Amino acid sequence: MNDKIKSIEVFTLTLNRDIPYLGATGEGENINEKGYFVRDANKTVYSTFDRSVLLRMETTSGIVGWGETYGLVAPGVIRELITDLLANFIIGRDPSDPSVIYDNLYDLMRFRGYTGGFYVDALAAIDIALWDIAGRQVGKSVAELLGGVKKKKFIAYVSGLPKKSIEARGKLAKAWQKKGFNSFKFAAPVAEFGLVEEISHLRTVLGPTAKISADMHWNHSADNAIELIQAMEKYDLWFAEAPVRTEDISGLGKVAKNVTVPIAVGEEWRTHFDMLHRVERCKIAIVQPEMGHKGITNFVRIGELATELGLDIIPHATIGAGIFLAASLQVSSCMQALSGHEFQHSVFEPNRWILDGNMDCAAGFYTPPSGPGLGVEPSAEALEMLKKL
């Protein structure tokens, strides 16, 4: 094929929200002039709005592909990496083999230790756009390029119940249950009475058939996490996510060895190498690849490794425009070991849905977009909202 990559443009897309992601700010959690604040419970920076980086790539024949990555804080870093460095090594190349380009770009900075963080986020946005173009060139969805759809629909679990009180979160979960969703995850940093009280309340509200998992937000020592998970066991905890700090691999191993509840990790990983270091030492049960950090090429590698090792795959889904979610659903639908996918309901809210395409999530199940490429693209309204970086 003679088609070559002609241009790459980088944008931010900001979507306002009434209540910050995960829920209202707590006492003393002050919002700075950038709209950022730190949650006391996990020492992590959050923003009062949703923002992601969108990437538009066009070929000489006029095919357009879109990518998306994190842009919650310091989105200019992604712009610099792409415009100053990466674009120069992409423009003029054949887009039909995204994984080759991904590996070439990864190699550029490996020697200097840039094997994660913002650098690999930038690669993720590029990789998603390349796969989108590769599919559109031949009129196939990304899933078809990857060998075909194995799961036409799969469970969506409701994540984050952004309300200020335990009662309000219970009511919100119940409202989702009435709409046909019966799998949930709650977030430790906003559980004002702690994890055990939170699951106890949700179990009472949602009844015995609901699947309920806990996101522990990398916030515990191994011993503390073991104690908490054991205390949640009696409420039939579905899985315990991110129980210890991401660097604490021996702690993760200790937790996984000492509890019967499945341990889920992986949203913050960038590559399958991050997974390898952990699965060699820890009895992980579930991996949670996040498309916005990994891109399609690495997401596939993580999925293949998980399948080989007999682990469940339940991808993470972050907040944003939904381009990376479409990519995640395309790849997820090809994975035999997939047992569900996180559902960020804000992406689908009518006043925030800004994509053209048929991606949907209803009555507890995702329907992946069909294609070609990712099967979605920013609507005319979304294009108006993009801000050039």
Residues contributing to the site for Mg ion (CB under 5 A): 215
- State how far the Cα of 312 lies from the Cα of 306, in Å rounded to an integer: 7
Minimum CB–partner distance for residue 242 and Mg ion (Å)? 6
* Cα 25 from chain centre: 22
- State how far the Cα of 232 lies from the Cα of 247, in Å rounded to an integer: 24
* Cα 336 from chain centre: 19
Minimum CB–partner distance for residue 173 and Mg ion (Å)? 17
Minimum CB–partner distance for residue 347 and Mg ion (Å)? 16
**Residue ranges with strand state E in 293-379:** 312-313, 341-343, 355-357, 360-362, 365-367, 376-378
Minimum CB–partner distance for residue 283 and Mg ion (Å)? 19
Residue position matching structure tokens 């060699």: 280
Minimum CB–partner distance for residue 289 and Mg ion (Å)? 12
Q: What's the length of the chain?
A: 389
Comparing CB distances to Mg ion, the nearer of 224 and 370 is 224
Q: Residue 17 gets which letter from DSSP? A: -
- State how far the Cα of 270 lies from the Cα of 290, in Å rounded to an integer: 8
Residue 147: exposure state from Cβ atoms within 10 A (0-12, 13-18, ≥19): exposed
Q: Are 116 and 271 in contact (CB under 8 A)?
A: yes
Helix or strand (DSSP H, E) at 175: helix 166-178
Comparing CB distances to Mg ion, the nearer of 198 and 215 is 215
Comparing CB distances to Mg ion, the nearer of 121 and 215 is 215
What does R_g of the chain's alpha carbons equal in angstroms?
Answer: 20
Comparing CB distances to Mg ion, the nearer of 182 and 288 is 288
Comparing CB distances to Mg ion, the nearer of 22 and 389 is 22
Comparing CB distances to Mg ion, the nearer of 57 and 347 is 347
Minimum CB–partner distance for residue 185 and Mg ion (Å)? 8
Minimum CB–partner distance for residue 332 and Mg ion (Å)? 17
Q: Residue 312: which of 374, 241, 233, 236 has the closest Cα?
A: 241
Minimum CB–partner distance for residue 13 and Mg ion (Å)? 22
Comparing CB distances to Mg ion, the nearer of 131 and 184 is 184
Strand, coil or helix: what is 65?
strand
Q: Are 286 and 313 in contact (CB under 8 A)?
A: yes
Residue closest to Mg ion when measured from CB atoms? 215
Comparing CB distances to Mg ion, the nearer of 106 and 269 is 269
